[in-house]
Amino acid sequence: MGSNDHRNVALAVDRVRVLSRRLVRPSSSSSSSGHAPPCDIHLTPWDLRFLSIDYIQKGVLLPKPPLSGDRLADALASSFARALALFYPFAGRLVAEERADDGTVTVALRCTGEGAEFVHAAAPGVAVSDVVSSLYTPPEVWSFYSYNLVLGADAATESRPVLSTQVTELADGVFLGMSLNHSVGDGTTFWKFMNAWSEINRRAGGAMSDDLMIREISTPAPVFRRWFVETSPVPIPMPVGKLQHIVRRLERPEVQECFFTFSATSARKLKAKANDEMSGAATATISSLQAVLAHLWRGVCRARRLPPEQVTFYTVMVGCRGRVNGIPAWYVGNALMFGKAEATAGEIEEKGLGWTAWQLNRAVASFDEAGMRESLERWVREPEFTYMSKLQSGDAGGVALITGSSPRFDVFGNDFGWGRPVAVRSGAGNKIDGKATVFEGPDGAGSMSLEVCIAPDALRRLVADEEFMDAVTLPSSCSLGKYINFGFSPINKDVTRRCNPFLLHAKSWIQWSYQFSLTLDEYLLIGLLSE
């Protein structure tokens, strides 16, 4: 991170105070979920490759609960323990066995039942509106998580929990931020746990035993048995000598992030436009998500001011549940492949939204089970770990995008008993220049949101890009002060209609100030207010 980022994060940490930490163990025997817990769950290549990246960090912002302080923390810790009874491996520990005789290392998730971490924190000076009323993500959000910048391998080398949750009480709400070791689960696993926890907490008011509670909730029994290709040894011996040898601490780039929401109507319009442009040429339908990501790719290429000949990349995560025989919908673990599209910046700009979306469509459609099996077999012979620096396209930097997560994950259904989430935000984990995380939109029904993390100067230009922002629904607040403080102009026709004339003139000054370095006095002198 740059020096400004460090200062902002330091100030944010001062506003968030940790009140307590505890280890929470499963509240009942894991046999209550219908499974006899294995001693060890051996990790697959899909799991092992993520030992080298940060924990998954996602969380929901909830309205103010009826309880507060220790009573709130104790109630949530109790339901958290019940959720751990259903997802009992998450109370275990990663263990690495290093064999000196052949220089190999094996890693497993040992179901010890030692517990997951539960942190209670307070940020009384932070309001819900501070998080949701600006496009820019405030630095406090990163402080709503424990295990910032902790790698998956650290859980084995330092005997850390594989799951940690932080409950942060705000002035008028509460943020539940969860950190899950990426080597024990992917985004599907993450949100299934959150869904189970929220439902258990919602039902906790009745006099129901732990066993009955777990049987009654709508969450199906998780499947912990890992899926391996038939030729794979179990456990997989990795020829790395020591686990520490795979660890590379990412030099954190200077980035900022914005949260862009696309209404269902906007997403449908982009989809229709993309398919119309490819009418007669495309052999499959471009999805709304592919159209929205193509819209982002084009906007970011302009914002980065890439020369026409510059090759740019977009990596998308392709889920294997439902695509591979033998992997059930409730499979707990990682089941992901990477799909990669590439094109020059000139092609993306000149050939339009439809052509760009088609490149993403082909990247996803290129998934082939036979090829996937071959890649897993090759990984066993030649392990290759995931490093975020590689996903930035190595030394090139500033030319790539990567999108994970899915708008299909049930984020806004996580009602803990006092109302649906107000918002969703992620933590500092794996934040690189070009990371774009997709979530379901707050309105559901086809809306979606993108949490976009790129270099600050490029992000300022992106939010001043009228073509890009025309598809974005701005936060309901029209507070010009917030926009000025964060340094961008809210170019959007919807906000243009709703805000007063002075705001519109001030908006124009902000846009011109970025393009031509004009002061407000210079802007007034050349008569732009008369436009």
Give the domain ranges of the chain.
Answer: 3-246, 256-266+297-347+359-516
Is pLDDT above 70 for 400?
Answer: yes
Is pLDDT above 50 for 55?
Answer: yes
Mean pLDDT on 146-154? 96
| Side chain identity, residue 435 | K
Residue predicted with more confidence, 62 or 207: 62
Quick one: residue 404, left, alpha or beta (phi over 0 = left, psi -120 to 50 = alpha)? beta
Burial 199-221 (b: 16+ CB within 10 A, else e): bbbebbeeeeebbebbeebebee
Is pLDDT above 50 for 470?
Answer: yes
For the ranges 40-54, 86-100, 260-274, 386-400, the lowest mean pLDDT is seen at: 386-400
Exposed/middle/buried for residue 248 (C-beta within 10 Å: 0-12, 13-18, 19+): middle
pLDDT at residue 28, rounded to an integer: 74
User: What band does 513 get if pLDDT is binned at 50, 70 and 90?
Assistant: very low
What CATH class is the domain 3-246?
A: alpha beta
CA 74 to chain centre: 27
Is pLDDT above 60 for 298?
Answer: yes
pLDDT at residue 122, rounded to an integer: 98
CA distance 443 to 421: 11
pLDDT at residue 209, rounded to an integer: 60
pLDDT at residue 479, rounded to an integer: 40
For the ranges 96-105, 259-268, 372-381, 479-488, the lowest mean pLDDT is seen at: 479-488
pLDDT at residue 252, rounded to an integer: 82
- Choice among 5, 42, 154, 182 that is catalytic: 182
Is pLDDT above 70 for 89?
Answer: yes
- Within 13 Å and on the Cβ side, how many CA atoms surround 486? 25
Could you name the CATH architecture of 256-266+297-347+359-516? 2-Layer Sandwich (3.30)
Q: Across-strand partners of 118?
A: 22, 165
Is pLDDT above 70 for 42?
Answer: yes
Closest CA to 105 of 15, 247, 236: 236
pLDDT at residue 194, rounded to an integer: 98
pLDDT one-digit tens code per residue, 72-82: 999 999 999 99
pLDDT one-digit tens code per residue, 6-15: 445 455 567 8
Is pLDDT above 60 for 5?
Answer: no
Is pLDDT above 70 for 522?
Answer: no
Q: Is the bond into 501 cis (omega within 30 degrees of 0)?
A: no
Whether the CA torsion 248, 259, 46, 398 is positive or negative: it is negative
Q: Residue 375 has which token pair?
A: 């890649």
Is pLDDT above 80 for 188?
Answer: yes
DSSP-derived 3-state class of residue 140? helix
Do domains 3-246 and 256-266+297-347+359-516 share one topology? The answer is yes
Query: Known catalytic residue: 415?
Result: yes
Residue predicted with more confidence, 357 or 488: 357
Is pLDDT above 90 for 429?
Answer: yes
Q: Mean pLDDT over all residues of the chain? A: 87
Q: 74 CB contacts (<8 Å, ≥6 apart)? A: none
CA distance 275 to 261: 21
Query: Known catalytic residue: 182?
Result: yes
pLDDT at residue 473, rounded to an integer: 96
Is pLDDT above 50 for 225?
Answer: yes
- Choice among 35, 40, 211, 415 that is catalytic: 415
Q: What radius of gyration do the chain's Cα atoms show?
A: 24
pLDDT at residue 444, rounded to an integer: 82
User: What band does 119 get if pLDDT is binned at 50, 70 and 90?
Assistant: very high
For the chain, the distance separating the N- and C-terminal CA atoms, rounded to the nearest angstrom, is 40
Is pLDDT above 70 for 500?
Answer: no
Is pLDDT above 90 for 349?
Answer: yes
